[in-house]
Structure 1
């Protein structure tokens, strides 16, 4: 069997994903405002997304309760945004499937075919090696449509 190399969804598909994502769990969200994960998540929060931090070493980040893992989050999560090294992402894809997320998004520099295969097999949309803040700024410059 020939496996096709992973390709990110089209810009149109990413736009629809962002429009329909309201709650984003951010794995690896730092409580340090100098870190990229904090800056990106704060910008997304300011655009109208609910950000749920996944960081076992913090109580709250950006005014939201932080959870030790995805499976500890009591609320529905639409999208899982990952700020972890590529080799740590396959179990995160499995957790994202288990909690009923619609998509997993691996940030810029994070890419692993195995993670994409796990997530796609579980019915998730997959974006890898892209910055969610950059994509959101380009595709939804005026913010999220009111639903």
Structure 2
């Protein structure tokens, strides 16, 4: 919290006044990044055109977000949410995953993606590969 306060140019007490705990701060950051992802997905118009093109646009959006928020690449499995926060984390990611699932299913229907693979598996693979370094 001290490092965050210093980076923001405020006192640690100011950070605690806005975010009572480190977990509250992490939750707020995760919410903000999720909002940014959803806005970027809207801007990418993933519902329009071929699914593969939309998926490639999403890949570029993901990399821009990773460049802006490099800590996202550092989190990995070690930062898996505690059981108390797991439900909130699932709810936060649900709109992103739903949109990605619809995109994969659209691509499967158009035979751009393997129609025999479960869409959930393809979503998991795309998500995992999205975090691989360039």
What TM-score bracket applies, with the shorter chain setting the length?
Answer: under 0.3
**Bigger radius of gyration:** 2
**TM-score normalised according to structure 1 size:** 0.23
**Which structure's residues are more often helix, by fraction?**
2
**TM-score normalised according to structure 2 size:** 0.24
**Which structure's residues are more often strand, by fraction?**
1
